[in-house]
Amino acid sequence: MLSALKGPRLWIALVAVLLLAVVLAGLLAFRVDILRTSLDPRVPFQTYQPPRAPDYGQSRAWALLPAAPERPRIDDPPADVFFVHPTTYDGGEHWNAPFRDGRSARLLEDVMLPNYAGSFARVGRVFAPRYRQASLYAQLTLRDDARDARVFAYGDVLAAFRQWKARYGGQRPFILAGVEQGGLLASRLLAEEIVPDAALRKRLTAVYLIETVVPAEAYAPTAQIPACSKRQQTGCLLAWRTASAVERAGLRDRALTWGPSGALVNLGEGVPLCVNPLSGAAETTLVPARANVGAANATRLDWGDRPALVARAVEAQCVEGFLAVSRPKARSLRPTGGWADRLKATPFNLFYGDIEADAEARMSSKLGRPVNAILAPPITRSISVRTVPVRPID
């Protein structure tokens, strides 16, 4: 096209193409800054009026709630799973999302729950509270306002967990799981609600903090909730955060964790805990793709429908506290959407089958029997049996 132009018009066209290239390069280089500016609520958190609180005594406050939450049915899985979902709300108007916000609720129900909570559906009844989550914007800045928004979100998750414990939890074994922002909030539940409670610790099968940065020193082998070291171990924790070599330094600078006073503090020089989901153990050796039970894209599947697994999709290795993962070949396992979508948890799960198998192995170890073993139904009525004399055989 340019070859057909001559003289001044050719130079004008070349300058226009160059300017367009510069503009596009600038947009790519500063896309996070542009997004951050567009999502800023522009009101101090101290004067911000948060949305109305959810009532966890009502079913609509839960994104996932069993059909008979207070009385497990005979065909229910043998355990419970308390699942804290990742970020689905971008921001703009609010620091913390209205828990029934339409767009973020659709993303939660269509994408996040089937891809991440779905891995636990075979081992437990899943309880997933809606909560006034901190916006995506709150995770793109280290301002005190943004930290306050995350701390505020924990209040809802704490209320939901206490409701589950008092009304639904019973004495069943359970799993605690969270993804990204949800993993950060679940880590505080672990420290403040489970570790001090001997009865809860006894029932705890495992903790899964998916795509979550937590300091490794908080889960040393001498702690009451150690990092998992083998697949049949129970009462232990798995945590990992996927990052390439280029991303690690930036993530380390931005990562926040809970301080002793309950405030969010920078990770600093701390090393994140990395338990490789392909092996279920805290190790630094490369786990090859042949160990990958299966990645999955479960987006828009109905709850309870198991997605097709893509076996041997990726290899993985813990490097400097972060999980380095190879690039999957399947197109369904690659990021999609706009800038904001690419900063959230991915709309697929590279370790769907691995988390599922890991949870089943640990729960089977906890129960002392296979998770999906068919139990005889309970006897609900007694039957009188008449005594009959036995005649000896001549």
Residue type, 23: V
Q: What is the distance between the alpha carbons of residues 394 and 388, in angstroms, rounded to a whole number?
A: 18
Structure tokens at 144: 């005190």
Q: Give every CB contact of residue 353 below 8 A, 6+ residues apart in sequence.
A: 119, 292, 293, 294, 295, 296, 309, 311
What pairing do the DSSP bridges indicate for beta strands 174-179 and 204-210? parallel
Phi and psi angles of residue 286, each rounded to the nearest 5 degrees, phi first: -70, 125
- Give the neighbor-by-neighbor strand order of the sheet with 204-210: 62-64, 124-129, 79-84, 174-179, 204-210, 236-240
For residue 52, which amino acid is it?
Answer: R
- Which of 281, 302, 288, 287 is closest to 361 using CA atoms? 281
**Going residue by residue through the chain (394 aa), what tens digit of pLDDT does each one get?**
445 555 566 556 555 555 554 444 443 444 455 555 667 888 899 999 999 999 999 999 999 999 899 989 988 999 999 999 999 999 888 999 998 888 999 999 999 999 999 999 999 999 999 999 999 999 888 899 999 999 999 999 999 999 999 999 888 999 999 999 999 999 999 999 999 999 999 999 999 999 999 998 877 766 789 999 999 999 999 999 999 998 998 888 889 999 888 899 999 888 999 999 999 999 999 999 999 999 999 999 999 999 999 999 999 999 999 999 999 999 999 888 776 788 889 999 999 999 999 999 999 999 999 887 544 444 445 455 455 455 555 5
Rg (alpha carbons) of the chain, rounded to whole number: 25
DSSP assignment string, 361-383: HHHHHHHTS-TTPPPPPPP-S--
**The pLDDT value given to residue 378:** 44
Joined together, the tokens standing for residue 123 give 């081992």
pLDDT of residue 249: 85
* pTM flag (> 0.75): yes
Q: How far is CA 284 from the centre of its chain?
A: 22
Sign of CA dihedral 230, 233, 237, 240: positive
In this structure, are residues 116 and 345 in contact, taking their beta carbons and an 8 Å threshold?
Answer: yes
Q: Where are any strands of DSSP class E within the chain?
A: 62-64, 79-84, 124-129, 174-179, 204-210, 236-240, 256-258, 264-266, 316-319, 322-325
Measured in whole angstroms, the distance separating CA 268 from the mean position of its chain's CA atoms is 23
Residues 6+ apart with CB under 8 A from 342: 335
Q: What would the DSSP string read from start to end of 182-241?
A: HHHHHHHHIIIIITT-HHHHHHEEEEEEET---BGGGG-TTSSSPBP-STT--SEEEEE-
- Of 232, 218, 351, the residue nearest 281 (C-alpha): 232
Q: Could you tell me the two tokens for 374?
A: 């068919």
Q: What is the pLDDT of residue 23?
A: 42
Q: Which residues contact 388 (CB under 8 A, 6 or more apart)?
A: none
SS3 296: strand
> What pLDDT was estimated at residue 78?
92
The answer to whether the Cα torsion of 125, 130, 131, 135 is positive or negative is positive
